[in-house]
């Protein structure tokens, strides 16, 4: 599994890894032993807490998840789900484009592992009571709102329609531009493939713009 490039950039810009790890460490198993975790709870009261934080929520008996009302913004649809089991709060963010391509749809600790290492032992936050639950959700919603705002800005700045699908090498050879990106790589233009020049072996405008945007955000994050 690989993160969409814009999703990854937005997560990096909002310091997602540091913020979720801090949340996990604050509400940890060492703080709340298994016998003190919020195991049995009132689902209606959980939804009242979510409503008090400004969100509409419903419960799916089929999926056994609580889901916020889907939010459409331009060509994108954002979603947020959570579950509470044995005191562990599992958080899931969803993101689809106008073609219903899934850009994001997994729990937050999996996102952490995709951004860091598969061996990262990050855990879901663990709560002991309703006050803990409210505090966890408040922090999670703050991250969620920051992510939505930054993602939409990145998508707008780039001005590209993203389509995730398989492609042939003939498409690569005939492309106007080709580039690759990863968590440890800002963006690398590809000007040759199998010894064949792409776009006259020139770095394209979009590749240059993406590198400029990404580098600018990294400098901003570093306070430079």
pLDDT tens track for 47-59? 999 999 999 999 9
Same domain, 18 and 58: yes
Higher pLDDT, 44 or 100: 44
Same domain, 199 and 151: no
Q: Is the pLDDT of residue 160 over 70?
A: no
Q: Is the pLDDT of residue 25 over 80?
A: yes
Same domain, 151 and 183: no
Same domain, 62 and 131: yes
Same domain, 10 and 89: yes
Residue 129: C-alpha distances to residues 122, 135, 138 (Å): 21, 10, 14
Residue range(s) defining the domain that contains residue 176: 169-221
Cα dihedral 215, 220, 222, 224 in deg (nearest 10)? 100
Q: Is the pLDDT of residue 184 over 70?
A: no
Q: How far apart are CA 132 and CA 143, in angstroms?
A: 17
In a domain, 180, yes or no: yes
Q: Is the pLDDT of residue 140 over 90?
A: yes
Q: What is the pTM of this model?
A: 0.72
Number of domains in the chain: 2
pLDDT at residue 27, as a whole number: 97
pLDDT at residue 37, as a whole number: 95
pLDDT at residue 133, as a whole number: 97
């Amino acid at each position: 599994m690989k993160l969409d490039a814009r999703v990854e950039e937005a997560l990096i810009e909002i310091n997602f890894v540091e913020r979720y790890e801090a949340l996990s460490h604050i509400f940890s198993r060492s703080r709340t032993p298994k016998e003190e975790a919020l195991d049995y709870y009132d689902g209606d009261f959980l939804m009242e807490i979510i409503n008090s934080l400004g969100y509409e929520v419903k419960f799916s008996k089929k999926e056994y998840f609580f889901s916020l009302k889907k939010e459409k913004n331009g060509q994108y649809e954002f979603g947020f789900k959570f579950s509470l089991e044995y005191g562990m709060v599992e958080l899931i963010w969803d993101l689809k484009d106008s073609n219903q391509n899934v850009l994001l749809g997994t729990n937050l600790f999996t996102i952490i592992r995709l951004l860091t290492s598969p061996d990262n032992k990050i855990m879901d936050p663990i709560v002991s009571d309703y006050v803990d639950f409210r505090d966890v959700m408040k922090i999670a919603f703050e991250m969620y709102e920051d992510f939505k705002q930054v993602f939409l800005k990145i998508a707008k700045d780039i001005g590209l329609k993203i389509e995730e699908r398989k492609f042939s090498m003939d498409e690569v050879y005939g492309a106007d531009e080709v580039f690759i990106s990863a968590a440890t790589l800002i963006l690398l233009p590809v000007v040759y493939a199998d010894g064949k020049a792409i776009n006259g072996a020139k770095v394209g405008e979009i590749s240059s713009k993406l590198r400029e945007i990404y580098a600018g955000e990294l400098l901003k994050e570093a306070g430079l």
